Amino acid sequence: MKRASILMIIGPLFLLGLYFFPLWNIMLGAPQYPEPLGMDIYIDGIKGANEFDIQNIDGLNHYIGMRKLPKPEEMWEFGTFPIVIGIMVGLGVLIGILGFAGKISYKWFLGWFVLMSILGVMGMYDFNAWMVDYGTNLDPNAIMKLANPDGTPMSYKPPLFGHAKMLNFDVTSLPAAGAWAMFIGMCLTLAAFYIGWKKAPKSDTSLTKKYATQ
């Protein structure tokens, strides 16, 4: 249980990486952009992969009527996410410490993991919803109004994960260092739960078996 608790203390601390590294990265390459434009999405705002990329992406997007990329104060998420992550880190570490002191059971470890996963999925859902809005809610006076072969207006939602071809751009959207740190941290808490479960007294194990057989 001590080992499991130490892992449970360390795991949530990995989430602190989200304050320093981007959660997600979207790169836009095109023939005239051999060095692709890119945006790094942090929990508290969007930054260019290179200094002027945001301005240049906005400059290109204005042709097809996309809005400018949001500044931190323009989206509530960028204010809320850092607080939520902070609370989750504090909560996780607290659970680990209490586990270490033998005050609470390893099951709390799983509880934290499940809560974090739910929040993560909600975050992804929100992110995707924003991208749908950003890519489809276009200026009716856009300079270029393009249609799909079936006649519907073309939309420009970037992929949530992976690669897509959008007009002359190759768009690649992938988790970045912050997301990987979060992933590792969450895996550690899952491992903490697993070790805690394996090392738990027999009664607990039989309890689990009993539940399983019912």
Partner 1 sequence: MKKYSYFISALMVSALLLTSCGNQNGNGGSNSALASNNAEKVYVAPGEQDEFYAFMSGGYSGNITVYGLPSGRLFKEIPVFSQFPTSGYGYSEETKPMLNTSFGFVPWDDAHHPDISQTNGELDGRWIFINGNNTPRIARVSLSTFETEEIIELPNSAGNHSSSFITENTEYVVAGTRFSVPVPQRDMPINEYKGNFKGALSFISIAPDTGRLNLDFQMMMPGFNYDLSHPGRGKSHGWFFFTTYNTEEANSLMEVNSSQNDKDFIAAVNWKMIAEYVKNGGGTKMATEYAHNVYDEHTHSATSTMKKEVITVDPTKVPGAVFFLPTPKSPHGCDVDPSGQYIIGNGKLSADLTIHSFDKMIAAIEGKKFDGEAYGIPILKFEDVLAGTVKSGGLGPLHTEFDDKGNAYTTFFISSEVVKWKLGTWEVLDRQPTFYSVGHLMIPGGNSRKPFGKYVVAMNKITKDRYLPTGPEMEHSAQLYDISGDKMELIYDFPTHGEPHYAAGIPAELLAPKSKKIYRLDDNKHPFAVTSPDQAKVVREGKEVHVYMSTIRSHFTPDNIEGIKVGDKVYFHITNHEQDFDVPHGFAMIGQNTSELLIMPGQTKTSLWEPKKVGVWPFYCTDFCSALHQEMQGYVRVSPADSDVPLTYTLGE
Positions in the binding site for partner 1 (CB under 8 A): 35, 51-52, 55-56, 59, 63, 143-144
Can you list the positions of beta strands (E) in the chain? Answer: 24-30, 33-42, 45-48, 162-166, 169-175
- Please state the closest distance from residue 127 (CB atom) to partner 1, in A: 27
Q: Which is nearer to partner 1, 5 or 61 (CB)?
A: 61
- Please state the closest distance from residue 52 (CB atom) to partner 1, in A: 4
Q: What is the DSSP letter of 153?
A: B
Question: Residue 62: which of 115, 141, 4 has the closest Cα?
Answer: 141
- Please state the closest distance from residue 74 (CB atom) to partner 1, in A: 18
Q: Which is nearer to partner 1, 52 or 125 (CB)?
A: 52
Cβ(171)–Cβ(26) below 8 Å: yes
Q: Which is nearer to partner 1, 56 or 105 (CB)?
A: 56
- Please state the closest distance from residue 174 (CB atom) to partner 1, in A: 24
CA distance 183 to 15: 8
| Residue 140, H or E segment | none
| Residue 193, H or E segment | helix 177-198
Q: Which is nearer to partner 1, 51 or 150 (CB)?
A: 51
